[in-house]
Amino acid sequence: MKNSDNISEGKGNSRALHPFMAMVNKEISDYIRSWRFMILLLLVFLTCLGSVSVAISNIDEAVKANATGDSFIFLRLFTASDGTLPSFFVFISFLGPLLGLIMGFDAINAEENRGTLSRILSQPVHRDYVLNSKFTAAIIVLSVMMFSLGFLVTGTGLIAIGIPPTADEFLRIVFFILISILYISFWLNLSIFFSVKFRQPATSALAGIAVWLFLTVFYSILVSLIAKAAEPSANASAGQVMAYQEFVMNLFRVLPGQLFSDATTTVLVPTVRTLGPLTVEKIYGTIPGSLPLGQSLLIVWPQLTGLVAATVICFVLSYISFMKREVRSR
Amino acid sequence: MSICTCSLKTIFAAILICLSLNTAASAPLDSVKLYTPFLKISVAPGEAVDYSVDLINNSDEIINAGITVSGIPASWNNTVKSGGFNIREISVLPGDKKNFTLRVEVPLKVNRGSYRFQVKAGDFDELNLTLIVASQGTYKTEFTTKQANMQGTSTSTFNFQTTINNLTADNQHYALTADYPPGWVVTFRPNYQQATSVDVLANGKVDMGVDVNPPDNSKAGTYKIRAMVATNASTAALDFEVVITGTYGLNLTTPTGLLSTSITAGETKRIPLVVQNTGSLELSNIKLESGAPLNWEVTFDPANIDRIAPGESVQVGATLKAYKKAIAGDYVTTMDATIPESTSRISFRVTVKTPMLWGWVGVFIILGALGGIFYLFRKYGRR
C-alpha cells in the first residue's frame, strides 16, 4: 500500500488513488473505449427502443384492460407487448446473459496472452486485485448502462403517456434494474471463470455461449423429457399431481433465467401473489388485489437469494482457480 | 092571560134561580176543566211536544186561572203559549173555553222511562200528562270500533277502523284528539282524508280510520291510545290497545367500523368486535360464526352471548389465525352473529403478509456466501 502513489503517478493523476481503484478506473476506461462495448450498447439500446415503442403503442389497450383493477400503468411500459416484439423485461432476460458473457469472456486470458498479466502482477499490488478490479469495473459499467437504459425507458414513457409513476412504481422499476444487474453479474462471473480456466478467449467465449444455450434452450427440452417420463397417470390423486407440478417447477428453478423471470414478473406485476402452484386451499377467500412492494420482494426473496448464491459461487470458483494458478511471464 | 104570563115568568125565574144557584155552588170545583186529547205521548229524546190544552169554563162566572206546570224535570224546557204570548194566567168567560199550547222540550240527554207532570189551572183543575221516552237519552255520540286491539312490530302502522255515530238530533262538528305516549303519531282519517275535525249529520254515521304509528325504537309491550271525539256538548272516547311484539335487530361491527386488518401468515391476530342489539326485543343465545378461508381458524371469545338487552351492545374478541401457507395479499373472512330470527354478517378484508423468517434466512445465506468470499480473500489473497 505504500506504493500506491507510484501507480497513480504513473497514470498521471494528481490525486492519490488506492491502487485497486486505479485498476478499476483503468478497466472501466478500457471497457468504454472498446468497440465491443459500443456494439453491445447499440444493440441493447436499439432493442430496448423497439420494445418500448411497442409498449407505448399498446399501452392504451393495457390501460383499458386494466381499467377495473389497480392500474399500475407505468409498469406496463416494461411488460406490455403486442406479440410482434417481446417486452422490455423479456429483452433484458434474453440480452442480459449475452451482455455478461461478452464483458467477461476474455478478462484474464487476454491479459495473459498479451503478456500484460505478469506485468501487472510485478507491480506492488495484491494478486486478487486483478480479478476483483475486472469484476468491479464490469459491474460498474453494466450498472450505469442498465440504470441509464431503465431511466431512458421511464423518461420516454413519461413523455409518451404523460402519467408520472407513483413512488411504488418507481421503486419497483429500480428494483427491476437491480435484479437485472444481479442476473447479468451472474453471467459475467461465469464468463470470468471460463476466462480463467481457458487460455484461449475463443474457447472461453464458446464455453460461455454453450452454457447459455444449454440453459435457455436444451435444459428446458431436457426438463420436458423428464417431466413426460415422470408424468403421473390420468387417475393420479391431486396430491400426486401437485407433487409432480412442483417437481417440474423446481427443475426449472435451477435455471438462473427462470429465477430472473420469476423475480422480474413479480416485481413488475404487483398483482402476482405467488409463484408456486395455486391450490384451492390457498385461493379460497382471496380478493384480487395488488401487493405492496415489500411483499412482492418477500415472494421473490428465494429467487434473489438463489441468484446471489449462483453469482457468488461463480466468483468463488474463478477466484480460487485464479489465485491457485501459476502466472508466468512469456 | 095574566095568570098565564105570570106563571111563565115564575117558571123562568125558577129556572134562572136554579141555574144561578147551581153555578154559584159548583163554579170553583167542577165547572172548570182542563182538556187535552193526548195524555200519554211517546217521544224521542230531543223532540218537542206541543200539547193543545183547552180550559173550559162551565160555570156562569168569569174565572181567572193561573197556569202552572209542575213535576217536569228541571232541565226540560216548557212554555205555555196562547195567541202568540207567553202566558201565566188565563181568563175564561162563562160557558166558554180557551185554548193554549204547552210546549215541552225533551232534552237530548235523558234516561228512558215515563215522565209524569201536571198542568194546573189555578185551583180549578189539573191535568196529569205522561211523556214516555222510548229510547235512552241521546245527547250522545257513539265512537266505536270493531277491533280495538292490534298487534304488530314497532315499525308497523296500526290502522283502526272506527265509526262516529252522532245520536244527537243536531249536526255535530267533532274535534278529533288523542292521548298517546310521547313519540307516537296518531292520525285521524275521516272519509279517507287526514283531518283534525269532522262533521257528522244528526243521527248520522261517519267511518273514520285512525292510524297509530309507534316510534321505531318502541319496546315490546302493550300501549293504550285514547282517541277522543268532542264537541262543546258531547264527547266520546275510545281506547285502543296496541301490542308491540318488538323486532329482532342484530348488528355485528367493529368498535371503529374498520373492516380490514393485516396479518402475517401463520400468526394470530385479535380483532375486537361489537355485537349490537338494534331491535326492540332482548336477544338471547347469540352465536358467532365465521366463514374463513380454508385452514384458517377463527375463534370467538366468547363464542356465545347469552343475552343483549335492546339498545345494548357487547364486546367480543375474534382471534384470527391465518393458514401458514396463505399467500400474500388480500383474503376475505366473513363473520356472522346469528340468532334464530336474524343474522348479521360482516366481511373482513384481511391482508396477509408473508413471514419475514425466510427473508432473514435468505439474508443469512447471502451473508454466509459473502463471508466465504472474505475468507477466500484472507486465505488466498496473498496479503
B7 inside domain: no
Contact check, Cβ <8 Å, A305/B366: yes
The pLDDT value recorded for residue A19 is 85
**What are the strands of the beta sheet with B63-70, ordered from one edge?**
B40-43, B125-133, B113-121, B63-70, B89-92
Is B294 in the same domain as B235?
Answer: no
pLDDT, tens digit, for every residue of B35-67?
899 888 888 777 788 889 888 888 888 888 888
A vs B, Cβ pairs < 8 A, gives 99
| Domain CATH number, residue B175 | 2.60.40.10
Could you tell me which residues come within 8 angstroms of residue A286 by beta carbon, excluding any fewer than 6 positions away?
A273, B293, B327, B329, B330, B331, B332
Mean pLDDT of B180-201: 91
Written as nine digits, the cell of A255 is: 435455471
Residue B298's domain comprises 250-355
**Cα–Cα distance, A111 to A124 (Å, whole number):** 18
A127 phi/psi in degrees, rounded to 5: -65, -40
Tell whether B312 lies on the interface with A, counting CB pairs under 8 A.
no
Better pLDDT: A11 or B162 = B162
pLDDT in tens, chain A (330 residues): 334 444 444 444 456 778 889 899 988 998 889 888 888 888 888 887 888 888 888 777 766 665 555 567 788 788 877 777 788 888 888 888 988 998 889 888 888 888 888 888 888 888 888 889 999 999 999 999 889 888 888 888 888 888 888 888 899 999 999 999 999 999 999 999 999 999 899 999 999 999 999 998 899 899 989 888 888 877 878 888 888 888 888 888 888 888 998 899 888 888 877 777 777 777 777 777 778 888 888 888 888 998 999 999 999 999 888 888 877 766
**CB of B106 within 8 A of CB of B47?**
yes
**Maximum CA pair distance of chain B?**
211
Over 80: is that where the pLDDT of B303 sits?
yes
Q: Choose among B330, B362, B370: nearest Cβ to A302.
A: B362
The pLDDT value recorded for residue A140 is 93
The pLDDT value recorded for residue B72 is 86
Q: Which of A13-17, B119-123, B301-305 has the lowest mean pLDDT?
A: A13-17
Confidence of residue B19 (pLDDT cuts 50, 70, 90): very low
The pLDDT value recorded for residue A8 is 42
pLDDT, tens digit, for every residue of B196-239?
999 998 888 899 999 999 988 788 889 999 999 988 777 889 99
State how many domains chain B has: 3
- Give B-chain residues touching A301 at CB under 8 angstroms: 358-359, 362
B76 inside domain: yes
The pLDDT value recorded for residue B362 is 84
Is B255 in the same domain as B186?
Answer: no
Predicted-assembly ipTM surpassing the 0.90 threshold: no
**CB of B295 within 8 A of CB of A281?**
yes
What's the sign of the alpha-carbon dihedral A121, A101, A259, A253?
negative
Strand partners, B65: B90
Q: How far is CA B201 from CA A86, A147, B140, B196, in A?
A: 95, 100, 13, 17
B281 inside domain: yes
Is B54 in the same domain as B112?
Answer: yes
Confidence of residue B108 (pLDDT cuts 50, 70, 90): confident
Could you tell me which residues come within 8 angstroms of residue A191 by beta carbon, excluding any fewer than 6 positions away?
A100, A101, A102, A103, A104, A105, A107, A204, A205, A208
Measured in angstroms, the CA of B162 and the nearest CA of chain A are apart by: 58
For residues B359-373, b (16+ Cβ closer than 10 Å) or e, as one string? beebeebbeebeeee
- Residue B302 preceded by cis peptide, ω within 30: yes
Is B33 in the same domain as B129?
Answer: yes
The pLDDT value recorded for residue B241 is 92
Could you tell me which residues come within 8 angstroms of residue A250 by beta carbon, excluding any fewer than 6 positions away?
none
B17 inside domain: no
Written as nine digits, the cell of A247 is: 417437481
- Give A-chain residues touching B376 at CB under 8 angstroms: 316, 319-320, 323
Q: Choose among B359, B372, B373: nearest Cβ to A301.
A: B359
Is B101 in the same domain as B167?
Answer: no
Contact check, Cβ <8 Å, B382/A312: no
Q: Which of B133, B150, B173 is the last residue of a domain?
A: B133
The pLDDT value recorded for residue A274 is 77
Contact check, Cβ <8 Å, A316/B373: yes
The 3-state DSSP composition of chain A as helix, strand, coil percent (nearest 5) reads 75, 0, 25
Is B145 in the same domain as B116?
Answer: no
The pLDDT value recorded for residue A194 is 94
| Closest chain A residue by Cα to residue B295 | A281
Instruction: State whether residue A306 is helix, strand or coil.
Output: helix
Q: What percent of chain B has pLDDT over 70?
A: 90
**CB of A127 within 8 A of CB of A121?**
yes
Tell whether B369 lies on the interface with A, counting CB pairs under 8 A.
yes
